[in-house]
Structures are given as C-alpha cells and as structure tokens.
Amino acid sequence: MRSLSIGATGMLAQQLNVEVISNNIANMTTTGFKRQRAEFQDLLYQNMRRVGSTSSDAGTVVPSGVQIGAGVKTAAVYRINEQGNISVTGNALDLAINGQGYFQVELPDGQTAYTRAGSFQLNAEGTIVTADGYQLQPGLVVPENAVDITVNPNGEVLVKLDGQTQPANIGQIQLATFPNPAGLEAIGDNLLLESPASGNIIAGNPGAPGFGRVIQQALETSNVNIVSEITNLITAQRAYEMNSRVISTSDQMMQSISQMR
C-alpha cells in the first residue's frame, strides 16, 4: 500500500519544516539573522497508464493517463535576505548596513567570512574586531589617544585625537556582495562563507552603486516575523497530523484485509 510510504515522506517533510521554523523563532533576536524557508518537491511518479499514449488503432490519445505519486522530498532550505529593522543602540562601534552588502571578517585560519552583524569592539591593540575577536577587514586600528570614533555612511572611519580639532581618517570599511547571496554557506556565529553557488565576491565601498550605506550606533535586527512564523508553525503541525492520519487510515485498511475470512 503506497499510502504508507507516501504518508511517511509527508511526515518527514513537515518535521524538517518545523525544524526550520523553530530555528527562525529561536533567532528572532539574533543580530543580522536572515530567516529561512523550506521548499519541497514531489517525488517520481509511477505511470499506470502513460499520458499521451494511444488508446486504439485509430490513433486516439489518452488525455490524462494514470500517474501515482510517491510522496514529497526536500528541495532546499532557502535564506531570505530581506532587510531587517534598524535598531539604534548608541554604541559607537555598532554598525548596521542599510541595503545590500556584508562586512568582511578574517577568521583564525586566514579565510574571509561575511556577516550582517555589525556589533564590533576594540581588542587590546585597538583593532576593530567582532565579539569573537575576529578582525574586521580591511584592518582598522584606533589610536590609544582617540577620544571619539565616527563612521560615516560611506564607511570612512574618523577618529578625534586628544588635543586635535580636526578628525583623522584611519581607514575605509569595505562591503562585499555576491551574485547569489542565498548561496552563501552558513557556519554559525553570524558568519557566512563564499561557495560555488554564491558566485565570486564583489567588493566595494558603502554607498557605491549596488552597496548599502553604513549606519553608526545602530544594529540590524533579525528579519524574522514572529506572526508569520507562528502561522507557518500551526500549518506545518496540521500537515504533520494529516499525514499521520493517512498512515493510521492505511493501517486500518490493511487490518480489514487481514481479518477477512
């Protein structure tokens, strides 16, 4: 009875759907998090009567045929790169990107990772780093006698030094974009890696064509919509229950056959 295995594929699909939704809800307060969506495809079909085949010597054609589906499978878990809200924090090293682009971060192994989470800090040498101590690229060092830090919308980092009137420019923040941002590989810690699916990096300054602007003293919040996620969770739960009902009904039908005398 095919309905047993079909119902099982449906339950597995909705289980994964709930896992994706639960991860979205768990990260509803994660800085720069982008929600994900599970996408499904139907499985192969068994042709009991092939569509388009001839049904007589006169050349008449079967208009629809008989195709029996085998269930559902997961096609992808897609990242939705919609802009999150901008939350003002008042911290000088909190940076948000309004528009497209990612901050570039150097990992301990020398790789470059990409992130929308702009909650930066200074390490013991005055270098701008992430919460894990990974250096923002290109490297920017704030002098010890700096009394104020300003990052303008174009990514220029200006510091006011003690005893000086004019601010000093210590460097330029560069952003990165990709032909397919959804193809970036997530590795946790709000970090993404380039992959063959994402395409090659396109680097540029904030405010340039195709790049967002930097907002200082602010962070981009998660783009998770809790109302939509709860609605999707209820829908997935109902779908899971209906697939389990299919298996229960199929089992009852098989019991009826086994009890025949």
What is the pLDDT averaged over residues 191-207? 94
Residue the block writes with tokens 């952003």? 175
Checking if the pLDDT of 55 tops 80, the result is no
pLDDT at residue 26 in the model: 96
pLDDT at residue 127 in the model: 94
pLDDT band at 261 (very low <50, low <70, confident <90, very high): low
pLDDT band at 172 (very low <50, low <70, confident <90, very high): very high
The C-alpha angle 124, 130, 136, rounded to 5 degrees, equals: 90
pLDDT at residue 257 in the model: 83
This prediction's pTM: 0.85
179-188 long-range contacts, CB within 8 A, separation 24+? 181/79, 181/81, 181/100, 181/102, 182/78, 182/79, 182/80, 182/81, 184/79, 184/114, 186/79, 187/113
